[in-house]
Structure 1
Amino acid sequence: MTSFECNWRDSILAQLRERNRNETQLFQDLITQHNKVFENSNRLHAENLQLSIRNEKLKSEGGGSHSANDLRLQDKVQQLEQKLLANAEELTQLHRRKGENAQQIIDLNVLLQEKDKAIASKDITLAENACRITSLQAEVSMLEQANKELRYLNDTLRDEHQALQLAFSSIEEKLRKIQDENRQLVERLIKYKAKDADRMNEENDNFLRNRYKRMQKEIEEACRETRGISPEQLVEGAGPLYQFTLPTKVVVKYDAHESEISAVKWNPVERFLATGGADRKLKLWDISKGTSESKGTLVGSNAGVMAVDFDSSGTLILGASNDYATRVWTVNDQRLRHTLTGHSGKVMAAKFLGEASKVVTGSHDRTLKIWDLKSRACIETKFAGSSCNDVVTVDSAGSIIISGHFDKSIRFWDSRSESSADNIVLNGKVTSLDLTKDAKYLVCCVRDDTLKLLDLRMNQVVTVFSCDGFKVSCDWDRATFSPDGQYVAVGSSDGSVYIFGVASAKVEKVLKEHTAAVTATAWCPIATYLASVDRSKKTVIWSDNVI
C-alpha cells in the first residue's frame, strides 16, 4: 500500500470520528434527561404498586370502621392517588417524549445510513480517481518521452535543413555561374552566327549580282538571235506561276497518335507538319514521299496538347497543353527549350507574337499572357473575363492580338495597352480564328454551326458560311484559310471536311474520309495540300494529285 492510500484512509477515518463526535454532542443532554425520566418512572411505578398493596391490606383489616386512623389513611390514600395520577400524567408525557426521541433516533439512523452510502460512493470515486491519476501520470510520462524524441527529431531535421540550405546555396551559385557562362557563350554564338550571316549575305549578293549580269548577257544574246519572243520566256529558271487548286483526293492517311488529335500545323518553309494529341505528345511528320514518315516526337507535356504553332523561320515549335503550361521546342534537335507556366487553367491557344522571342497564350482562366522567351517570364497579362479558345496576331510586329472567347465575343487587344480596344459579339461560342495573309479578313468558327467572315477594316461580319450537314464538333474546332485566302476549310462532327468559297459564300467541296468528328484542318503554305485530323487518331492529307 502506498503512502498516498494510507494518507487518504487516515483522513477519512479522522473525518468520520469528528462527524460522530459532533452529532453525538448535540443529543447528549436529551439522552441524559431521557434516562432520568425512565428511572423516575420506574421508581414511581414501584411506589404505586406498594401503596396499592397497602391500601388493599388496610381495606381488608379495617372492616368499614371510621376511626381517625382510617380517615388519615384515606386522606393519605387520596394524596397518594393524586400523586399517582400526576405521576401517571408525567409518565404519559415521558412516553410521548420517548416516542419522539425514538423517531428522532430513527431519522438520525436513516440519515447516518445515507451518509455512510455517500461516503462509500466517495470512496469508490476516490479509488477511480486514484486509478485515473495513475494512468494519467503514466500517459504524461509517455508524452514527455515522445516530446523529447520529437525535439531530438526536430533538431536533427533543422540540422539537415541547414545543411541542405547550404548545399542549395552552393548549387544555386554554381547554376548562376553556369547561366552566366551560358549567356556569354550564347552571345558569342550569336555574334559568330551574325558574322556568318553577314558573310553568307555578302556571298549571296555577289552570287546574285553575277547571276544577274550573266542573265542580262544571255538575254541580250537571245534578243539578237530571236525576235518576237517575250523576254520573260527566256529568263533562266523562270517557270509557270503558282496556281492554287482545291484538293480532291486522299494521298496519305495514317494513325498519328494513340488517341484524339486536337491540333495540326504545317511548317512554313518545309513540307512536313506537326500534330498534337490527347496522348500528351507533339509529333512531326514528313509526307513529301507520299507516306507518313515520323520525323520525331516532342515530349514534356503532362496533359493533352491543344494548339501547335511554328515561328516564321520554322525552327521553333510551341505546344499549348491542358496541364496549364506552354512549351517551346527546337525543330532540328527536338529539344525542349522553354516551359511557360503561370496560367491557372487549360491553355487552349498559343501563337508566336511577331518575332520568335515572344509568345501569346490564351487560357480557360480567362486571361491572355504575353511571354518573353529571352527572359523566360510573363511580361504582360490581359484579363479578358471569359475563357479563351483561340488567338491570332494581325501584324508581324505582334502589336494587335485578336482572341475568341467562350462568351461569344471576339476581343481586339493592343499589346501596348492593358484593356481591349474593341469587342464583337457573335451568336455562339467562338472555337477558332484565322487571318488571311494580308490581315484584312478574319474567319471565326462559331458553335452555332456557322463560319463568320469579318472585314477587319470595318470590324463587322460581311459573310456567313453555313450549310446542311455541317456541325461544329467541339469548342476547339479549327477553321483555316487557304494560302491564297480564297477558301476556308473546316471539319464537321460527321467526319466531313467542308471547303467554302470566300467569294461565293457557298460550299465548293466536301471531302469524306474520316469516320469520326474532324477537330482541325491546316493548309500547306508551299503546296496544294490540306491536312485534317479527327477524334479517332486519324490524320488525312488531301491534294488534287498524287505526291
Structure 2
Amino acid sequence: MESTNATWLHRMRQQLQARDAHVASFTPVVDAYNRLLQTCSSLTAENTSLASDYEKLRFDHDKLQRSVQTADGGPMDPLATQQKIADLEWRISTLKDERSELYKTQGQSAQRLLEMTNDIRKQEDRSRRLEEENKQHTTQLAKLQQARDDHFYAMREKDGTIQILQDEMTALQLELVTKEERLKKVEIENSQLVERWLKKMNEEADQMNQANLQLEVVKSNLSSEQIHECLGDENYFGIGRKPSDAGREAAKVPTQVYKELENVHSGENYTLAVSHDGHLVATGGQDKRVKVFDSKTGNHRYTLSGCLQSVLHVAFSPTDDAILAASSDNAVRVWATDTGRLQHTLTGHIGKVVCAQFDGESRKVISGSHDRTIKVWDLYRGYCSKTVFSVSSCNDLCLMDPQGSTIFSGHIDGVLRVWDMRTGNCVREETGLHDGPITSLSLSPDGTTLVTNSRDSTLQLVSIATYDPIMTLSAEGYRPGSNWARAAFSPDGYLVAAGSADGTIYVWNTRTGELETKVKEHT
C-alpha cells in the first residue's frame, strides 16, 4: 500500500509540474499584451494631441485666408500666399496620413487585445479546472491515508488477537497433556473403584441376607396383627426416611409480599443476599453502595461504601460476621457486619468481578471474573493464593465442600466446569446442559443436586454424583434479565425460585418439575 501511495504522489507531482509549465508558456503573451496596451494608450493620447493640432492649424488657415482677403496694406504676394497655402495643405495631408496610421494601429491593437483576452479567459478556466482537480485529488489522498491508518490499526489489533489465540492454544495444549495424564490416573482410580464397589455390593448383600434372617426370626416371634402393624409403618425398619429430611420444616410456596423496601438504591438493584440466621438482608446496586436492612422490620441498618463502580454480587460469611461485595471495578471488598468497617480490598482481576463466595471457615474468598479467571484469596494474609484460568468468562460459582477444595463454575459459553482448587485443574466439563450462558449456580441443602440457570430460559437440576441432568425446569414467559440472574433452592430443597425479566418470580417443584406458582409484584 505504501508503494502504491508513493507512485500516486509522484504522478500527482508530475501533473502539477506540467500544469505550471503550461501556464508559464503564456507569460510572454501576457507581457506583450501589457506592452501593446501601453502603446495603444500612448498612441491614443498622441492621436488626440494631433487632432488638436489639426484643428488649431485649420483655425490658423482660415484666419490667414481671412487676413489675406481683408488685408489693409494691399494685396499680398500671390506666390508667397500660394507657397504658404501649399505648405499648410501638405502639413494637413501629413497629419491625416498619420491619423489614418494611428487608427489602423489602434484597430490592430484592439484586435490583438481581444484575442489575448480570449486566451487569458481560456487559461483562467483551465487553471480553475486544474485547481478543482487538485482539490479532489487532495481529498482523495486524505481519504486514502485515513484508510491506510485504519488498516494499519486493524492489522495491529489482529496481530494482538493472533498472539492471544496462540497463547490460549499453547495453554490448551498444556491442559490437554495434563488431562490425558489425569485420564490415565482416573482410569486407574476407576478400576480400583469398581473393585471397591463390587466388594461393597457383596458386603451389602451379606447384610441384606442377615437382615432377612432377623426378619424371619421376628416374624416367628410375633402374631399376624403385630407383623401387619410393623409392616404398615415404614419407619419401623427405617424405610422411606431420608437423613436430610430430619429436623427440617417444609417450605411454603410464596403467595404474597411479606415486606417491601422502596428506593433502596439510587440506580438499579443488582444483587441481594440474606444472612444465614435470616435476620439481615444485604443489597447492592448501580449506586456503588451495599445497604443492610433488618429482614423483619425492613428498617435500614447501615450502608457500606468503598466500591468505585456498580456492585454485582453480595454474600454473607457462614457465621454472618462479614459481608463481601463483588464490583465492576475489578475488586472484591469485605466488611465486618457488626461495625461496618472495611477489612479487605482484594484487587488483582483485570475484568469486572461478578461473583464471590466465602469458604466454610471464613478464611478464604473465591471470586470469578469476566477476565476468565477464578481467584482464591487468603483473608488472613490479604492476598491472592491461587489463580486458575478458564477459556470463558465466569458468571457464578458455588462450593461443593466447606473447605472450597472443589468448586463449580458457570460460564458464558454455557459450560459447567468442576475445579480441584488444590491443584488448580479443571476435573470435569459438562457441555450441552444449556444453549446459552449459565447465569447462576445453587447447591441444594442436602448437597446432592445443583440447579443451573441460563439465558436460554431454562433451569437444569444436575446430580452431583453423576453430573447428569435430572430434570429441566421451564415455563412460558420465563426469561432471565441479565448474565447474573440468580436462582435459589428453598431450605428443604423441594422448591426452586428464579426471577424473570418481566418482574415475575417463578417457583418450581423439584420433585415433579411442575411450576408451583408465579407471583408478580415488580414492574
TM-score (norm 1): 0.49
Mark the structure with the bigger radius of gyration: 1
Q: 1:347 aligns with which of 328, 346, 353?
A: 353
Q: Distance in 2 between matches of 1:241 and 1:445?
A: 25
Tell me how many residue pairs correspond in the alignment.
Answer: 274
One-letter amino acid of the structure 1 residue matched with residue 314 of structure 2: V
One-letter amino acid of the structure 2 residue matched with residue 417 of structure 1: T
Q: 1:276 aligns with which of 259, 279, 284?
A: 284
Q: Distance in 2 between matches of 1:263 and 1:483?
A: 20
- The alpha-carbon deviation at position 278 of structure 1 amounts to 1.0
Q: 1:439 aligns with which of 443, 447, 456?
A: 447
What SS class does the counterpart of residue 251 from structure 1 fall into? Answer: coil
Q: Distance in 1 between matches of 2:428 and 2:249?
A: 37
1:305 aligns with 2:338: no
Q: Distance in 1 between matches of 2:261 and 2:296?
A: 14
Partner of 2:403: 397
Q: Distance in 1 between matches of 2:436 and 2:468?
A: 16
Native 8 Å contact 2:251 2:495 kept in 1 = no
Q: Distance in 1 between matches of 2:394 and 2:261?
A: 31
What SS class does the counterpart of residue 494 from structure 1 fall into? Answer: coil
Equivalent runs, 1:146-157 vs 2, <5 Å: none
Equivalent runs, 1:171-250 vs 2, <5 Å: 242-250=249-257
Q: 2:465 aligns with which of 446, 449, 457?
A: 457
Partner of 2:6: none
Deviation sequence 1:201-248 (CA, Å, 0-9, x none): xxxxxxxxxxxxxxxxxxxxxxxxxxxxxxxxxxxxxxx974421121
Native 8 Å contact 2:249 2:492 kept in 1 = no
Native 8 Å contact 2:268 2:285 kept in 1 = yes
- The alpha-carbon deviation at position 417 of structure 1 amounts to 1.2
One-letter amino acid of the structure 2 residue matched with residue 258 of structure 1: S
1:410 aligns with 2:412: no
Partner of 1:421: 427
1:325 aligns with 2:325: no
Partner of 2:293: 285
1:364 aligns with 2:379: no
Q: 1:261 aligns with which of 239, 263, 269?
A: 269
- The alpha-carbon deviation at position 254 of structure 1 amounts to 2.1
Change (3 A) 1:420 1:511: same
Partner of 2:39: none
One-letter amino acid of the structure 1 residue matched with residue 299 of structure 2: E
Q: Distance in 2 between matches of 1:495 and 1:418?
A: 39
What SS class does the counterpart of residue 253 from structure 1 fall into? Answer: coil
Deviation sequence 1:365-410 (CA, Å, 0-9, x none): 0000000011100000000111100010011121111100011111
Native 8 Å contact 2:461 2:471 kept in 1 = yes
Partner of 2:85: none
1:251 aligns with 2:251: no
How large is the RMSD of aligned CA atoms in angstroms? Answer: 1.2
Q: Distance in 1 between matches of 2:445 and 2:256?
A: 26
Native 8 Å contact 2:250 2:492 kept in 1 = no
One-letter amino acid of the structure 1 residue matched with residue 407 of structure 2: I
Native 8 Å contact 2:281 2:294 kept in 1 = yes
Change (3 A) 1:373 1:512: same
Native 8 Å contact 2:486 2:498 kept in 1 = yes
1:467 aligns with 2:513: no
- The alpha-carbon deviation at position 249 of structure 1 amounts to 0.8
Moved over 6 A (4+): none
Partner of 1:477: 485
What SS class does the counterpart of residue 467 from structure 1 fall into? Answer: coil
TM-score (norm 2): 0.52
Q: Distance in 2 between matches of 1:326 and 1:414?
A: 22
What SS class does the counterpart of residue 252 from structure 1 fall into? Answer: coil
Q: Distance in 2 between matches of 1:242 and 1:459?
A: 28
What SS class does the counterpart of residue 505 from structure 1 fall into? Answer: coil
Q: Distance in 1 between matches of 2:284 and 2:394?
A: 19
- The alpha-carbon deviation at position 270 of structure 1 amounts to 4.1
Native 8 Å contact 2:478 2:501 kept in 1 = yes
What SS class does the counterpart of residue 309 from structure 2 fall into? Answer: coil
Deviation sequence 1:144-169 (CA, Å, 0-9, x none): xxxxxxxxxxxxxxxxxxxxxxxxxx
Q: Relative contact order, CA 8 A, sep 6+: which one is greater? A: 1
1:499 aligns with 2:513: no
* Greater alpha carbon shift after TM alignment, 485-494 vs 247-256: 247-256
Deviation sequence 1:519-547 (CA, Å, 0-9, x none): xxxxxxxxxxxxxxxxxxxxxxxxxxxxx
Q: Distance in 1 between matches of 2:520 and 2:289?
A: 27
Q: Distance in 1 between matches of 2:281 and 2:418?
A: 29
Q: Distance in 2 between matches of 1:461 and 1:301?
A: 38
Q: Distance in 2 between matches of 1:484 and 1:241?
A: 6
One-letter amino acid of the structure 2 residue matched with residue 278 of structure 1: Q
Deviation sequence 1:330-368 (CA, Å, 0-9, x none): 000001000000000000000002220100000000000
Q: Provide structure 1 residue ranges, at least 5 long, that are not aligned to the other structure.
A: 1-239, 516-547
What is the percentage of aligned positions where both structures have the same residue?
40
What SS class does the counterpart of residue 277 from structure 2 fall into? Answer: coil
